[in-house]
Chain A
């Protein structure tokens, strides 16, 4: 009996390990301009080679663990999106890519556009940018794994713990890695604490309104682009995966929503 339990424990441990090490993705183009799609598919090329992290683009919701959504949701494709989401077996995560996936972006004011992906399905991670950089998308998947860890109860919810601990758990934006500075670090800790709170609150309350974030994130990505320009892509994304305690540089939040938005969220849901 005891031995059986041990075996079961070992098996469960391996299953949890597998969940973190083999996130298979399905990519759904929900009416994007194809900018974000091209960046998403660029992750599969030899330059970025996401298969290093066990990520495979399976193209089949029944096999996938992570749903990548690019583009805005409109009244017609919301059903398709919901259908794909419902076909994925648990545990699963959703990543909204680009300004459009977050809020509707430049198409936000169109008569048929409902807004971001979170109007229809719960979103775990937002990847800003217009289009989002491949590094940011890979980073988004890695951050989604952190969310899955929380869901599985492997780690405490960083949103609930202190800002310092949250910073230690955040792998975000390490692709814009520069030497960590003391002052920036503490500031960043507060920032990540907030932004992860924003993400989890968005996860709980999917239909929250995210106004004006598209513009902010677009600006931020411009800053990010400058910061990452010198770094060879392959190395930086590897660093993004391996480096655990990411000290934030001033171009914070590859995968987190902008700080302003985070505050707005806190005001709404807490």
Chain B
């Protein structure tokens, strides 16, 4: 596994670029769905570079610390993914990053940040059980939590666990900050709590969080790609289709409440996973 480290580092650098481009394509497709023209595809990079050039205006030092921990955790989780490491370890690192983002938002007095942080915690409460169940399902098929073992499988996983994949879609929507689950912070500005959990990060800190977000998106898509681990073409088709469906859902849905998210999102995701696990066990 350690042999893969140089490749994994290279892949990590590439995924920063890929994540930014994906975000740009996302904004263009979203604009087209709303019959607008949309920004240039490099727009996320312009945004991030601009943010790096802004003067520091932090409320307290914790914000700087938390933004660094967040981006480091996201990078480490992705590194572990590219090194074909342990899914559970990856999951915990991802959680640490997300928690520190919330801690940073909780250290300031702004009510918008506070509400955003609470909502972010609720979002984590929703997607983490689903992710764990997805990992359990993956390990039931491959025999271990190592990603390397999944790549050793002869057949793609999707036909045997479509319901798990749908449940993973819930987690993906939450992590991507897409409607109807963009309750803690929205990419489209002007929410009732302004930018929610991101509200009081500004300038370079916000840029770091944005890069961390790109890495998270790449990681989540990577986890989706495990469901078609046997062929590159199938993998790309699956990811493109998944992402497009996410965008359509984002555009046809309104933002909903956290109660709705917990009830529908969590329950539906867990039930889908459990049904699929039973089917796997029975067959």
Contacts and interface: CB of A to CB of B under 8 A. Distances in A.
Contacts of B35: 46
Interface residues of B, number: 33
Contact of A89 (B37, B49, B194, B202): B202
Interface stretch (A12-20, A105-113, A127-135, A202-210): A12-20
B255 interface: no
A60 B55 contact: no
Interface string B26-46: 010001001111111001011
A18 B57 contact: no
Given A22-B50, A63-B202, A57 B40 contact: no
A140 B54 CA distance: 22
B114 interface: no
A58 B185 CA distance: 12
Contacts of B43: 21-22, 54
B195 interface: yes
B51 to A, nearest CB: 8
B189 interface: yes
Identify the interface centre among B31, B189, B201: most chain A CB within 10 Å of its CB.
B189
Contact of B36 (A17, A46, A58, A63): A46
B203 interface: yes
Interface in A167-182: none
Interface in B1-53: 27, 31, 34-40, 43, 45-53
B38 A18 contact: no
A60 B56 contact: no
Nearest to A23: B50
A65 interface: yes
A82 interface: no
A29 interface: no
A18 B39 CA distance: 13
B46 A22 contact: yes
Interface in A36-62: 46, 49, 51-54, 56-60, 62
* Dominant secondary structure of chain B at its interface with chain A: loop
Given A15-B53, A19-B53, A89-B56, A54 B47 contact: yes
A63 B206 contact: yes
A46 B45 CA distance: 23
Contacts of A17: 46, 49
B55 A90 contact: yes
B45 to A, nearest CB: 7
A21 B49 CA distance: 10
A14 B39 contact: no
Contacts of B34: 46
A52 B202 contact: no
B200 interface: yes
Contacts of A53: 39
B199 interface: yes
A65 B56 CA distance: 13
B152 interface: no
A15 B52 contact: yes
24 contacts: A11-B52, A12-B53, A14-B49, A15-B50, A16-B53, A18-B48, A18-B51, A22-B46, A46-B36, A49-B36, A49-B37, A51-B27, A51-B31, A54-B46, A58-B195, A59-B189, A59-B190, A59-B195, A60-B194, A60-B199, A62-B199, A63-B195, A89-B55, A89-B56
Given A18-B46, A22-B43, A90-B55, 4 more contacts: A18-B52, A22-B46, A51-B38, A63-B195
